[in-house]
Amino acid sequence: MSDLLLRGGFVDGRRQDVAVRDGRIHRIAADLDPRGHDVLDVADRLVLPAFVETHIHPDKAFIADRTEGLRAGGPTAQILVAELKKRFTVDDVCQRARRVVQLAVRHGCTVMRAHVEIDSFIELRGVEAMRRLQVEFAGVLDLRLIAFAQEGIFDDQAVTRDLLREGVKAGLETLGGCPYMDRDQRAHIDWFFDTAQAMGVPLDFHADSSDDPAMLTSDYIAEQTIARGLQGRVTLGHLSTLDVLEPGHRARVIGRLRDAGISVISLPATELHVKGRTDAHRTWRGVTRLGELRAAGVNVALSTNNIVNPFTPYGHPDLLRQALVAAMASHLGNLDQLAWLLDLVTTNAARAIGLADYGLAEGRPADLVVLDARDAAQAITEQVEKLYVIKAGRLVARNARTNELLAP
Ligand SMILES: [Zn+2]
């Protein structure tokens, strides 16, 4: 098979060709010589670097049919899933997670950083399943894994802490904390910083999920990141609490996040489903302050988080959908805002997980998605099809929709 040439697409707002050689983008220019290439006609279609999923839970996907959903006065999503995962087997996780990965690729994603739960309930069965999928999808999806402590680390002697270290030794590349699951949030954060430094891996925290300002931890995480010289090595998911701070306080916290080089990953679909359930009026949306964070110079990304489980029963690994959810939840509808929303699932997402070798530029890996739209606003508004998904120069998904308008 010859190298691909994408002909006539919109690249950086201009009609240009993209020529691939040996898995990388060789040239981007108008009217390139197609000889020796397999030509893909993408005339007037939007060509983007492929989507990057930075915060997703394939191991607990597709279990909504095994349990009840959220209801007033009922158990939390964490409690519902904790009960179920005691019975997860390696094959069960593998089958459900495989479906997530396939859907993600079909929807334009070629790099995914996934959380893998490690605790006394599931032990390392999720790790084994996800390591299998890493091998199975090599060359199609770059699957990176986080050793994640969804249940906290201080309530089971040292079982979870020992297993987390084992997970990292088994090849998981990042340590993932969840401070609000332990009574002493700072002790939890300190353990993760100490362990990540000792093991030489980056850190991710599910942080500040509450609407109680007293539960804020992102200021402390920023302080620790700077004190330990880990700028650029820490990502935070959620940050919902930012939204309930007084504006002056929030601006100071956001400034510290920027100074710490912390990337913020917003998870709008889950926030909208889980948050504000006891509000009697003016229901809280729970989505972090995307516009303010971005304006202050913080690297912000969007991600899917949960798929068909009590946290997000309608979750779906489609980052174009998350861009629309974010637009709806965060008052981001002006044309310039719709344009930068796609950065939050491409370049910003890549930066958040330290993916330096990425982007729509000559010399970079040919990881591309072609959308059936002329621009970002149309892509998000119409939720257009991802016509082609390309990983390292190879077509890994092709999608089409048939529409017949039978009236004039
Ligand atoms: Zn999550």
Neighbours of 330 (CB within 10 A): 21
Q: How far, in Å, is the centroid of ligand 1 from the Cα of 209?
A: 10
Q: How far, in Å, is the centroid of ligand 1 from the Cα of 206?
A: 6
Overall average pLDDT of the 366-390 stretch = 98
- Report how far residue 99's alpha carbon sits from residue 1's, in angstroms, rounded to the nearest whole number: 28
pLDDT at 213: 97
What region does 308 belong to: left with phi over 0, alpha with psi -120 to 50, or beta?
Answer: left
Q: How far, in Å, is the centroid of ligand 1 from the Cα of 304?
A: 9
Angle between helices 218-227 and 247-259 (to 10 degrees): 30
Q: How far, in Å, is the centroid of ligand 1 from the Cα of 306?
A: 7
Q: How far, in Å, is the centroid of ligand 1 from the Cα of 35?
A: 46
pLDDT at 227: 98
Among 28, 17, 95, 9, which residue's Cα sits nearest to residue 59?
A: 95
Per-residue pLDDT at 1 exceeds 90 = no
Helix and strand counts by DSSP (H, E) for the chain: 13, 16
Q: How far, in Å, is the centroid of ligand 1 from the Cα of 113?
A: 11
Q: How far, in Å, is the centroid of ligand 1 from the Cα of 236?
A: 10
Residues paired with 114 in a beta bridge: 56, 145
Q: How far, in Å, is the centroid of ligand 1 from the Cα of 210?
A: 14
* pLDDT tens track for 95-123: 999 999 999 999 999 999 999 999 999 99
Angle between helices 185-199 and 159-169 (to 10 degrees): 30
Residues with CB under 5 A from ligand 1 (ion): 305
* pLDDT tens track for 282-317: 999 999 999 999 999 999 999 999 999 999 999 999
- Residue 408: pLDDT band (50, 70, 90) is confident
Q: How far, in Å, is the centroid of ligand 1 from the Cα of 56?
A: 6
pLDDT at 158: 94
Q: How far, in Å, is the centroid of ligand 1 from the Cα of 54?
A: 10
Among 338, 361, 254, 302, which residue's Cα sits nearest to residue 109?
A: 302
Q: Are 108 and 319 in contact (CB under 8 A)?
A: yes
Neighbours of 403 (CB within 10 A): 4
- Report how far residue 96's alpha carbon sits from residue 225's, in angstroms, rounded to the nearest whole number: 35
* pLDDT tens track for 28-58: 999 999 999 999 999 999 999 999 999 999 9
- Residue 206: pLDDT band (50, 70, 90) is very high
Q: How far, in Å, is the centroid of ligand 1 from the Cα of 369?
A: 25
Q: What percent of the chain has pLDDT over 90?
A: 99
Q: How far, in Å, is the centroid of ligand 1 from the Cα of 178?
A: 9
Q: Which residues contact 327 (CB under 8 A, 6 or more apart)?
A: 333, 337, 338, 341, 380
Report long-range pairs for 181-188 (Cβ below 8 Å, ≥24 apart). Answer: 181/78, 181/149, 181/150, 181/151, 181/152, 182/152, 182/153, 182/154, 182/155, 183/154, 184/154, 185/215, 185/217, 186/217, 186/220, 187/154, 188/152, 188/153, 188/154
Q: How far, in Å, is the centroid of ligand 1 from the Cα of 106?
A: 22
Q: How far, in Å, is the centroid of ligand 1 from the Cα of 114?
A: 9
- Report how far residue 7's alpha carbon sits from residue 408's, in angstroms, rounded to the nearest whole number: 32
pLDDT at 2: 86
Overall average pLDDT of the 374-379 stretch = 98
Mean residue pLDDT of the chain comes to 97
Overall average pLDDT of the 233-240 stretch = 98
Q: How far, in Å, is the centroid of ligand 1 from the Cα of 358?
A: 24
Q: How far, in Å, is the centroid of ligand 1 from the Cα of 305?
A: 5
Residues paired with 112 in a beta bridge: 53, 143
Residues paired with 302 in a beta bridge: 266
